[in-house]
Structure 1
Amino acid sequence: MRYFLNSVGGDERSLYPFTRNGKAVITTIQAVVTNVEAVATNTQAIIKNL
């Protein structure tokens, strides 16, 4: 998660000023990243089984 935030130019604290619900936004981003990682893992497993 840290690498993602650093790649968009900052950490959690630098995102807070942009929204009242900063924590909710970060939680949503973390959920999206987790889902993307899960899809990638599933895709690798499917390819391995072919």
Structure 2
Amino acid sequence: MLIHSLRAAIIGVVPLDTYYVRLKITGRRLNEPPRRRTPQMAQSLS
């Protein structure tokens, strides 16, 4: 019972976390103008 709920929590959390990170990256890319490409941003994206 405990293991099943823990596994369900992990399965539920992981796609949500990756979706949030992807949304944050795309939102940052859309909000900032293209000329403000910094090496730090390129490192964080890769």
The structure where helix makes up a greater share of residues is: 2
Whole-Å separation in 1 of the counterparts to 2:11 and 2:26: 23
Gapped regions of structure 1 (runs ≥ 5): 1-19
Q: Which has the higher contact order (CA 8 A, sep 6+)?
A: 2
Structure possessing the higher radius of gyration over alpha carbons: 2
* Identity of matched residues, %: 10
Shift of 1:21: 2.5
Gapped regions of structure 2 (runs ≥ 5): 32-46
What is the number of residues matched between the two proteins?
Answer: 31
Moved over 6 A (4+): none
Aligned-residue RMSD, C-alpha: 1.2
| 2:9 counterpart of 1:28 | yes
TM-score by length of 1: 0.51
- 1:48 aligned to which of 7, 10, 29: 29
